[in-house]
Structure 1
Amino acid sequence: MLSLREFDDRRLSPYTGWTRDHWAALADHLLLSARRYASGSHARISFPGPPGGYGADVDGLEGFARTFLAAGFRVAGESGRDPLGLMEWYAQGLATGTDPRSPERWVRLDEHGQAKVEAASLALVLHLTRPWLWDRLDPIVREQVVDYLAPAIGSDYPPINWIWFQIMVEQFLASVGGPFERKDIEEGLAFTDGFARENGWYADGAERAYDHYAGWALQFYPLMWSEMAAGDPAADSRRPLYLERLERYLHDAVHLVGADGSPLVQGRSLTYRFAAATQFWTGARAGLATPGPGLLRRAASGIARHFAERGAPDEDGVLTLGWHGAWPPIAQSYSGPGSPYWAAKGFFGLSLPADHPVWTAVEEPLPVEFDDYHRVVRAPGWLVSGTRADGVVRVVNHGTDHSHPGTHLTDSPLYARLGYSTVTSPVLAGEHAADPFDQSVVLLDDDGRPSHRTGFETLLLDRLPSGTMIGASRWQAHWVTPESDAGGDHGYGRPGTVRLGPWIELISAVRGPWEVRLIRLLEPGLLRVGGWPLPATGPDAADRTLHSQVIAGAGLDLRGMVPAEDSSPLAPWTLIPWCATSGPARPDTWYDAAVFLGGQEPGRPPVVSWSDPVVARVTWPDAADDLLDTSAALSGPRPPRQ
């Protein structure tokens, strides 16, 4: 594992020890290691491993374009000082990759859609390093680059974060006197306005798609575009709104980083790892007053240190497909050996000079290091609980499934589970990835197959006077046989042949490390409740620094712990606690279970009692008392019985 401890400065960075020197050393290590895998002309960087789903040509382009990000940030922040000769090295690759006659040429934007993604990275770095790279390129090479990027004009882009790739490329073309279509930029900007949600958040398209793309793409590109287009009235008028959204979003984002530096293990493209730091550097570059620069650096450096000290990069200096070390199942169908290098976006802070406040301010503690908190994050429908004693951040999910209300897809383990945290991973491989077990409330059919919840209705997200958070959702249990030709696995739910079952209503009350789940069925069914997936070294060897339990209430008379081997990137095994009914659950009857995740033994659990059939009293371990009126939580018309 890479050790950078010789650069530690505990005066400036009392929480991580990390400074700009750490970031620079890590970037240089990755960049120099990558050169071993470059083609003779540097145009393609093909990292070890089997080809990705899009083929070796795309893999080589990704290797170049994504490491180019780190190189560009490195040189821009040094105002052109370049002792490693990065600009000269990448200039040679640019010249060859854009030469249509070269056998090492890059796949073009009109040949493969993935080239549209990589083109945006090329455009961004060429903008940031213009005096030291673009302005020094041979005129013929500049012509080649323009010709290579030009197919972005008028082209179709998927209606998600990809819209920004077209905007970035055409804005760069405009800045260097190349061809562009202002209509593309204007329509793209108007379209991305539709991604905006409450409190500064963005969804990745029209669906309830909330993940790390919210920060490393949807917050990042608007500010970079407004820099590239500075002086244009359209950019100057939009920038204040982009800044306002970013500031409000970052107040939530800093609450989603664990004390150990782990970002939330949720959403697709997790193999990009410390790209999750990009959002914090974006706030620093934008000069936001809050969160302050010391907190922004603490969050970003904590994320990078988390991975660097746990096997990323590996002993050869390579970022493999994985989370800490290599774990190939984390890949989506679009992932190849060069894909993890989008982590280079996390080096965006290096584009800021050493005297910038984000590098000179003393680190401030993360929210989870400062105090316990309960935070309702309305856009993604998350109830966020952080506990200072163990540094764990948990999310109880009543709003995200990468779909729309009323759909009947399979549950994606990356989006549709009931909970995510900074110390657990959803089960991503093996039978329980496709058939929900961890962090679930399901019905079991006659064959023992669990139901899915994607397409649920969000009914409530609130905070009680005591500080306890409460959320509620409702969905029709359904079983799906996925279509064999449903397309590549992009990390979210899949369509197929659907069989509908009873409706399920769920209320979550969250306080500290505990969640109390109140569950009601509208028709009889075998009910099972799954808890937090616990990383473990063996099938009966849990990590004693972390504890996961499900405490069953009346009627949930079966319970146990299911081991799953090689099912997540965190440990060789995952242990899933559960409880269930031994026979069909009674309709219109509330069942309750207490679900725990924490760094200490759980001790006394919450106590649930029912003063009448629809009002539950929850007495918490800290002696707080809450009355939960289920009829108020589930207000609105009930779905019809089948």
Structure 2
Amino acid sequence: MHRDYFVSSLIRIADPLLTALSKNELKKKMPVEAKTNDRQNFTYLEAFGRLLAGMAPWLELGPDSSTEGKLRKKYIELSISCIRNATDPAVPDYMNFYKGGQALVDAAFLSQALLRAPNQLWGRLDAKTKKNVLEALKSSRVITPGHSNWLFFSAMVEAALLQFEGSCDKMRVDYAVSQHLQWYKGDGAYGDGASFHWDYYNSFVIQPMFLEVLQTLITSGQNENKTYELELNRARRYAAVQERLISPEGTYPPIGRSLAYRFGAFQLLSKMALMHQLPNEILPQQVRCALFEVVKRQLETPGTFDKEGWLTIGLVGHQPGVGEPYISTGSLYLCSQVFLVLGLPATDPYWQNADADWTAKKAWKGEPIPIDHAIEN
């Protein structure tokens, strides 16, 4: 039940976008809800890069003869058409990768998608499209990232170039890693820059990209194992905190900026489950049941989608006031990152084990729960 609901929910979010882009009709059909007038420059790559990053692990399972496997086949083929159109300068839905700072952000999310599905996405592209993708990613280098989580956007683009072309601007990668190591605040949390921000950016961006950049470096033969193990330990702690933030009712604290990314706030918890790296005291099925309640509660609230099936700005339903000036319709597709767990096959214990209550649900029923404690490094 939980897996079927996650698959149908991901498709509900993805289908209008991928169908339109595959036909070169995204710019014509996607609404642009925003507070400022410049978001048309960025919103289409935002929507596509973010959506695909969340879908990629599921797509990477590949097609098979099952009902779900046939769905994957359909959406793999749609995604390939979309990548072709998004990076071809000669077609209407060609996207902006280099004008204005925001373009770097979503070049990074597209890079993340390709790294997460190297066989089913990158591996299925024709030679011309591969060349267009690499040129599009390189064009984002004209953008200087802010001294914040943005350093990982540059690093993510370079990681993709390293993986798929064999070389990159190593300084951009090394700087992102070294700065974030300096910005660590303790107990599994990094600052967003030198300051600590009480929001969900450790999950939206910092820790997933940190792990994936380091993994790419290790795959390329570089000795980053010690840093990777350090960051993995911190990510597991942050995931433990995230699991405890989910209330018995499937809600979570509305703190910090970018709340319109909705359940994308739990990307890191989903990623740790995908990697089989949840803390020992957290059962995979606890996370499954908790994330199901979070997604269902937000997704089924009236107003989450417009009448054409596009996401609207809000945390719970349509709440335009939740959107910062940088938020537009495309931004909202970061919510897809909660679906990373669909990269686990249906036979995995995450999906097969009997339902279990998550920590807060057990606690508020008066049941035994593990003691919580900080990590030292």
CA distance in 2, matches of 1:36, 1:139: 23
CA distance in 2, matches of 1:79, 1:236: 33
Kindly report which structure 2 residues correspond to 1:407-486, keeping only aligned pairs within 5 A, or say none: none
Q: 2:332 aligns with which of 334, 340, 357?
A: 340
What is the identity, as a one-letter code, of the residue corresponding to 2:350? V
TM-score (norm 1): 0.52
Mapped pair 1:58 → 2:42: yes
Match of 2:235 in 1: 246
Give a deviation string over 1:495-525, Cα, whole Å, max 9, x none.
Answer: xxxxxxxxxxxxxxxxxxxxxxxxxxxxxxx
Do 1:149 and 1:169's aligned partners in 2 also have CA atoms closer than 8 Å? yes
Match of 2:31 in 1: 48
Paired residues, number? 356
Mapped pair 1:116 → 2:104: yes
Mapped pair 1:356 → 2:348: yes
Summarize the Cα distance change of 1:336–1:230 in structure 2 as closer, same or farther, 3 Å threshold.
same
Structure 2: runs of 5 or more not aligned: 367-377
Match of 2:375 in 1: none
Match of 2:136 in 1: 148
Summarize the Cα distance change of 1:325–1:256 in structure 2 as closer, same or farther, 3 Å threshold.
same
Kindly report which structure 2 residues correspond to 1:581-592, keeping only aligned pairs within 5 A, or say none: none
From the CA coordinates, give the structure whose radius of gyration is larger.
1
Q: 1:327 aligns with which of 306, 312, 319?
A: 319
Task: Give the structure with the larger helix fraction.
Answer: 2
What SS does the aligned partner of 1:20 have? helix
Give the drift of 1:79.
6.2
Q: 2:17 aligns with which of 21, 24, 34?
A: 34
What SS does the aligned partner of 1:218 have? helix
Give the drift of 1:338.
1.5
Do 1:170 and 1:181's aligned partners in 2 also have CA atoms closer than 8 Å? yes
CA distance in 2, matches of 1:361, 1:228: 32
Give the drift of 1:103.
4.0
Task: Provide the identity percentage.
Answer: 23
Match of 1:68 in 2: 52
Give a deviation string over 1:422-456, Cα, whole Å, max 9, x none.
Answer: xxxxxxxxxxxxxxxxxxxxxxxxxxxxxxxxxxx
Give the drift of 1:35.
4.5
Give the drift of 1:73.
3.1
Give the drift of 1:106.
1.1
CA distance in 2, matches of 1:266, 1:76: 33
Match of 2:370 in 1: none
Give the drift of 1:315.
5.4
Summarize the Cα distance change of 1:241–1:155 in structure 2 as closer, same or farther, 3 Å threshold.
same
What SS does the aligned partner of 1:126 have? helix
What is the identity, as a one-letter code, of the residue corresponding to 1:65? G
Q: 1:268 aligns with which of 257, 277, 280?
A: 257
CA distance in 1, matches of 2:46, 2:294: 23
Match of 2:76 in 1: 87
Name the structure, 1 or 2, with higher relative contact order (CA <8 Å, separation 6+). 2
Give a deviation string over 1:71-91, Cα, whole Å, max 9, x none.
Answer: 423312446745352222222
What SS does the aligned partner of 2:171 have? helix
Mapped pair 1:369 → 2:361: yes
Give a deviation string over 1:141-186, Cα, whole Å, max 9, x none.
Answer: 1111111101344752112211111111111101112551112211
Summarize the Cα distance change of 1:295–1:152 in structure 2 as closer, same or farther, 3 Å threshold.
same
Match of 1:299 in 2: 290
Task: Give the structure with the larger strand fraction.
Answer: 1
What SS does the aligned partner of 1:230 have? helix
Match of 1:436 in 2: none
CA distance in 2, matches of 1:341, 1:160: 22
What is the identity, as a one-letter code, of the residue corresponding to 2:155? I
Do 1:259 and 1:368's aligned partners in 2 also have CA atoms closer than 8 Å? yes
TM-score (norm 2): 0.86
Kindly report which structure 2 residues correspond to 1:573-612, keeping only aligned pairs within 5 A, or say none: none
Mapped pair 1:235 → 2:224: yes
Give the drift of 1:223.
2.1
Structure 1: runs of 5 or more not aligned: 1-6, 8-18, 372-386, 390-642
Give the drift of 1:369.
1.6
Summarize the Cα distance change of 1:78–1:353 in structure 2 as closer, same or farther, 3 Å threshold.
farther
What is the identity, as a one-letter code, of the residue corresponding to 2:231? Y
CA distance in 2, matches of 1:248, 1:133: 31
Match of 1:226 in 2: 214
Give the drift of 1:189.
0.7
